[in-house]
Amino acid sequence: MKRRILRLIDFFYPPFSKYIPLQTFRYAVSGGSNAALNLLIFFLSYNFILNQEVLVIGSYSITRYIAAYAMALSVSFPVGFLLNKYIVFQQSDLHSRVQLFRYASVTAMSIYFDYALLHFFVGYLGFWATPSQALIIVILSLFSYFFQTYVTFTTKKRSL
């Protein structure tokens, strides 16, 4: 499966090879695909699965757009980690548990910012939920790229 995904991504790389490194291209394709999956699940959850504006689960009240976000995240988190680990940052020699912890830390920060920005755009400004989520994905993807490249999936420094 890994080889098929790499062959598919790398097949489309030549026109971009003059402009961006292969790893950056793989990150963009993998991240873009995962973001599209996240947005699709968000859209389907928000518009077709969740039919109440506020969900009450026990003593907690959750808005429909936050519940849709949680449903999308439950799929996109593991898919994103696996794509980053096995497709984009193959050269990283850090232990998987270290990578997963760091990836989860970035995801936790992204969740916080996504939650706050989604409430701001939808709850405060009254923007539509799906376009708001799409804009947030773009903003957080830029932050995530730099953190994943230089922290999560880095290589250990070798002493000579």
Q: Which of 51-55, 85-89, 92-96, 120-124 has the lowest mean pLDDT?
A: 51-55
Are the C-beta atoms of residues 81 and 145 closer than 8 Å to each other? no
Would you put residue 86 in left (φ > 0), alpha (ψ -120 to 50) or beta? alpha
**CA-to-CA dists, residue 79 to 7, 34, 38, 85, angstroms:** 18, 7, 10, 10
Residue 102 sits at the vertex; the CA angle it makes with 93 and 88, to the nearest 5 degrees, is: 50
Instruction: Assess whether pLDDT exceeds 90 at residue 103.
Output: yes
The amino acid occupying position 114 is D
pTM over 0.85: no
Residue linked to tokens 């976000």: 69
Are the C-beta atoms of residues 6 and 87 closer than 8 Å to each other? yes
Encode pLDDT of 9-27 as tens digits. 999 999 999 999 999 999 9
Encode pLDDT of 133-149 as tens digits. 889 978 888 888 888 88
